[in-house]
Structure 1
Amino acid sequence: MSTFLDEFAQAPGLRYLNHAAVAPWPKRTATAVSRFAQENVLLGARDYPDWMVVEQRLRERLMRLLNAPSTDDIALVKNTSEALSFVAFGLDWKAGDQIVISDEEFPSNRVVWEALAPQGVEVIQVSLKNNDPEAALLAACGARTRLLSISSVQYASGLRLDLERLGQGCKQRSVLFCIDAIQQLGALPFDVQASQCDFAMADGHKWLLGPEGLGVFYCRSELRPQLKLSEFGWHMLEHMGDYNRTTWEPALSARRFECGSPNMLGTMALEASLSLLEDVGMDTVEKAIAERILWLEEGLSAIPGVRLHTPKNPEKRAGILSFSLDGIANADVFERLKQEQVVCVQRGPGIRFSPHFYTESRVIEETLAIVRTLAAH
């Protein structure tokens, strides 16, 4: 894996532990964007068909990353929130329908469902602070529950849920299953078929090491025709490119959710970033992240006054580790870390660290030393 570590060239002294927010780009991604910019300067869109080849390659990489049955199941969207909105405002709701979520969701996976209140849809928030959060979520799915929408990894606590168990439970209860995978995709293997989910979505700018403004939306093929469309244009048509055709129908594939001109700049960048993850291999990525999270956990646990908020069970966490220091406000801890060029964020009950597979040992050791010094004062 040492060869791939050369893909990252961060500023001297920078300690980057913020991949759960916005990730740095690999060198190959910057090269792809630079090459694309230069091509636009010199040639404009002369070679647009070649750009479409890259777009198709991106769909294929995403198909493999999600283990989707086909590239037809993959839509390229602006972000996770847009994909969630396609589901929320595409399904045919009836007054009294219920949606189950957790009480720890990022606003994107809460507000979109609460926006259905004028249609008489009720949102049930379930606490995950128990020994069996999956059982609690499934127990909340009653006769009126239409959909369970959950983040595979909670953005603040770092709790990872058993998606296969939730998927099986939803199937037994005839409940639709929607996964916000933004904190898992690119950090751990992810499988839409094994989880039996109906919908899944994620952005490219976190663990996928890509730019903001381009994400992925998976929709199970049988459900695509059931989602009412709210955006229309030339790109989402079955006969895209036949500009003289007077009759039209939405594309049978997930392209039906892509109404207009694609984000080709983002496509070039994300395709390059995903090529790196494929070259490294998701099993290797998962193992490397787990090692770094364990390193941080053991180091922080040895510091007096540190309180961990992320589960210690490796099967219950992914790439996020949250902590706080007794007697010191999170804002003060964050400010000190910021001064020391530790890039992280305040989220939920503590400070959130999120290393990736390439994070150097120096970054972890120096960060732990900073926290140790802070706790001693």
Structure 2
Amino acid sequence: MSRHYDVAAVRKAFPAAEHVVYLDSGFQTPLSRPVKEAYERFLQEGFETAGPKQIWLNRLEETRTKVAAFLGARPNEIAFTKNTSESMNIAANALPLRAGDKVLMIHGDHPNNAYAFLNLRKKGVEIVFIPMTEVVDAESFRPHIDERTRAISMSLVTFHAGHRFDVESVGALCAERSLYFVVDAMQGIGVVPIDAKAMKATFIGSGTHKGLLVPQGLGLLYWDATRTELEPAYLAAASLAEPPLDFVARPDNLALPPTAGRFELGNFNLPAIQGLGAAIDLINQIGIENIQRHCFDLGDYLIERLNGLGVGLVGPRDRQHRAPHIYVIALPAADWLDYFTQNGVRVSPERDGIRVSLGMFNTTADIDRLMEAIRARNAPSARARTAVLSKLG
């Protein structure tokens, strides 16, 4: 049980969690019943009526409003994209950076955030990586800022060790120094509450297939609508303030709307967007703060059990600096991943071990199954060590 909500009831919405010990939501969350039903509704409507397009577009705007409220933003500040990588590339290329300008990032952060900005080197933009430490905050970046620094880009939560960085202090530093601030929220969104305005972010990019419960192929982009100087690197009729009704492109009609629609190209992933609306309803019904607290509790339990087995944890342990839901066990992935899979435990390999990533549906029983698998494999070696010690004695 959870102290925060009825996990048994929530778990029923995720049938896959009953068939496998699913500790891999940082890769892809299992499909939930509400999201599945939203997809099925879309397919049924398309099958029976060839597509009620305006109804689908109305639902798209309803989901945009839900996303905005979820991020503490306004609907006109939300764009739909393909994934996090596309969102980060849109953001990187929208910043008015020129040769000689400098962007600060964190060494070892997600590569698809880094590559979006490293690609700007062909324009003469310098990308400088600061060290990744257990705590990253404004003071981590401050010594690296000079007169050429124009932007900082970083993750809210790291995928490989579960750091939760102090993005609000970094956002305050960016506001103080008039820097653009770009945040990759993919590994935190849906579990860690996000307030775009408190972050003082220029852009926040994310996909939806982890904490937001939707299959791959849909992303989000928050844009601070006061930054009207930021424009897309590409253009389509859907990006315009006044798309031509006769579908004839005219050189004198290139004005952009005062909304995040300027970063969209049209032909949306409509079934995924409807699924996202259902997913946000589910998250709101439980409460994002409750989900975070539940995952923190499970994380505490996981750490306690690992300590009991003498198995290490990679990354921060303090709640202030760790993500509630991502933990990397110091077991070599090459030696352990297949073993866990064969024993019905779904986890991911990471740089320094095995990643356990929790979801709203996980329970202490899932952690216990994981611990049982570790203990069972370590038991023979433990018995062997005991036998050797007894002979030595």
TM value normalised by structure 2: 0.90
Measure how far apart 1:12 and its partner are: 4.7
- Work out whether 1:366 is the aligned partner of 2:372: no
Does the 8 Å CA contact 2:326/2:356 hold for their aligned counterparts? yes
Q: State how 1:218-233 maps to structure 2 within 5 Å.
A: 218-223=222-227, 225-233=228-236
Measure how far apart 1:133 and its partner are: 5.1
Distance 1:341 1:359 in 2: 15
C-alpha deviations, 1:285-319, integer Å up to 9, x for none? 11111111111111112112x12112110111111
Q: State how 1:1-377 maps to structure 2 within 5 Å.
A: 1-2=5-6, 3-10=9-16, 12-45=18-51, 47-68=52-73, 70-129=74-133, 134-223=138-227, 225-240=228-243, 242-243=245-246, 248=253, 249-304=255-310, 306-318=311-323, 319-325=325-331, 329-376=332-379, 377=381
C-alpha deviations, 1:41-82, integer Å up to 9, x for none? 11112x2221122111111111111101x1000001111111
3-state SS of 1:115 partner: helix
Measure how far apart 1:331 and its partner are: 1.0
Measure how far apart 1:373 and its partner are: 2.0
Does the 8 Å CA contact 1:101/1:125 hold for their aligned counterparts? yes
3-state SS of 1:186 partner: coil
Equivalent position amino acid for 1:269 in 2: G
Distance 1:131 1:231 in 2: 37
Measure how far apart 1:100 and its partner are: 0.7
Equivalent position amino acid for 2:299 in 1: I
Task: Return 181-190 or 231-240, whichever deviates more.
Answer: 231-240
3-state SS of 1:302 partner: helix
What is the number of residues matched between the two proteins?
Answer: 370
Distance 1:238 1:228 in 2: 13
Cα distance change on mapping 1:311 and 1:11 into 2, 3 Å: closer
Equivalent position amino acid for 1:299 in 2: R
Equivalent position amino acid for 1:370 in 2: A
Task: Give the superposed CA RMSD.
Answer: 1.7
Distance 1:266 1:194 in 2: 28
Measure how far apart 1:131 and its partner are: 5.3
Does the 8 Å CA contact 2:77/2:222 hold for their aligned counterparts? yes
Equivalent position amino acid for 1:61 in 2: K
Identity over aligned pairs, percent: 26
Cα distance change on mapping 1:74 and 1:285 into 2, 3 Å: same
Structure having the higher Rg: 2
3-state SS of 1:188 partner: coil
Does the 8 Å CA contact 1:187/1:207 hold for their aligned counterparts? yes
Distance 2:25 2:18 in 1: 18
Distance 1:139 1:106 in 2: 22
C-alpha deviations, 1:125-155, integer Å up to 9, x for none? 1112255554222322222111100000111
3-state SS of 1:95 partner: coil
Distance 1:124 1:158 in 2: 23
C-alpha deviations, 1:198-221, integer Å up to 9, x for none? 110110001111121111101111
Equivalent position amino acid for 1:19 in 2: S
3-state SS of 2:158 partner: coil
3-state SS of 1:316 partner: coil
| Structure 1 alignment gaps of length 5 or more | none
3-state SS of 1:99 partner: strand
Distance 1:299 1:368 in 2: 7
3-state SS of 1:92 partner: coil
Equivalent position amino acid for 1:159 in 2: H
Equivalent position amino acid for 2:271 in 1: L
Does the 8 Å CA contact 2:38/2:271 hold for their aligned counterparts? no
3-state SS of 1:292 partner: helix
Equivalent position amino acid for 1:152 in 2: L
Distance 1:185 1:130 in 2: 20
C-alpha deviations, 1:61-117, integer Å up to 9, x for none? 11111101x100000111111111112222222222111111121111111111111
Distance 2:307 2:140 in 1: 29
Measure how far apart 1:250 and its partner are: 2.2
